[in-house]
């Protein structure tokens, strides 16, 4: 089966990517109306991690990983390799040697909708790998998969050059053509949450600060002073 490789991608301006390094995944998702977060099954293998970079996308046949190797040598320093392995968890498409190659080339991290192996090697390298599972079984290299085409990863559409943010909470995708607006909203959200935090420290309730007390009334929730009785 033939695949395709596109060597070039359009990237967001470097200064925008730098600004996103101050934005956690939670804030980024909130800035997109709580969307574009990958499924909870895609988790980091190491703790205290935060990556930001342009997506180099890979689409794999189930249990096949030849193009994951090629992607390492197309990615630029700071990029994030995002692999659509079809959510298949019983065959790994990534391992310790690929991880070492990525680290040596300055690639920010790897996100895989599928499984990896050599988890001890990956953790010793302290390299950011996000994946769905870990399994000993290795991959085949018998199909020509594709690089830098639109893919699905963790239930989210990813296009080459989209911004990927990954941290201990998970992975979020910022569409390349929306990056500036999302960044603006994310910064506004951070400032708002700072005010909430200060308010809580000074004795205010989250109901008051977030105007949730008003929302509860608007929802028509009945409130009784007495205890519940069957």
d(CA 56, CA 215): 42
Q: In terms of C-beta density within 10 A (0-12 exposed, 13-18 middle, 19 or more buried), how is residue 29 classed?
A: buried
List the one residue out of 168, 17, 174, 13 whose CA is nearest residue 82: 174
Name the residue among 47, 44, 20 with its Cα closest to residue 32.
20
123 is in an annotated binding site: no
Q: Is 67 helix (H, G, I), strand (E, B) or coil?
A: helix
For residue 118, say whether it is annotated as part of any ligand binding site: yes
Cα–Cα distance between 145 and 86 in angstroms, integer? 12
Length of the chain, in residues: 230
Radius of gyration over alpha carbons of the chain, in Å? 21
Q: What angle do CA 92, 95, 98 make, to 5 degrees?
A: 130
Contacts of 105 (CB under 8 A, 6+ apart): 72, 73, 75, 77
Nearest residue to 75 (alpha-carbon basis) of 175, 8, 173: 8
Would you list which residues are annotated within the binding site for Mg(2+)? 118
Would you list which residues are annotated within the binding site? 117-118
Would you list which residues are annotated within the binding site for substrate? 117
């Amino acid at each position: 089966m033939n695949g395709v490789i596109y060597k070039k991608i359009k990237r967001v301006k470097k200064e925008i990517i730098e600004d996103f390094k101050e934005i956690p995944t939670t804030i980024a998702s909130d800035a997109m109306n709580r969307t574009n977060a990958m499924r909870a099954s895609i988790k980091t293998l190491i703790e205290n991690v935060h990556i930001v970079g342009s997506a180099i996308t890979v689409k794999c046949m189930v249990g096949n990983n030849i193009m994951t190797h090629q992607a390492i040598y197309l990615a630029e320093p700071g990029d994030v390799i995002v692999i659509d392995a079809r959510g298949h968890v019983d065959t790994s498409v990534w391992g310790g040697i690929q991880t070492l190659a990525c680290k040596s080339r300055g690639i920010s991290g790897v996100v895989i909708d599928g499984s990896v192996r050599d988890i001890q090697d990956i953790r010793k390298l302290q390299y950011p790998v996000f994946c769905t599972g870990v399994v000993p079984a290795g991959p085949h290299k018998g199909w020509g998969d594709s690089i830098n085409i639109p893919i699905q990863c963790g239930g989210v559409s990813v296009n080459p050059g989209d911004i990927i943010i990954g941290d201990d909470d998970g992975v979020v995708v910022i569409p390349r053509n929306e990056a500036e607006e999302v960044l603006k909203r994310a910064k506004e959200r951070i400032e708002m949450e700072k005010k909430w935090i200060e308010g809580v420290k000074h004795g205010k309730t989250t109901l008051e600060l977030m105007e949730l007390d008003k929302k509860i009334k608007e929802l028509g929730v009945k409130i009784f002073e007495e205890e519940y009785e069957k």
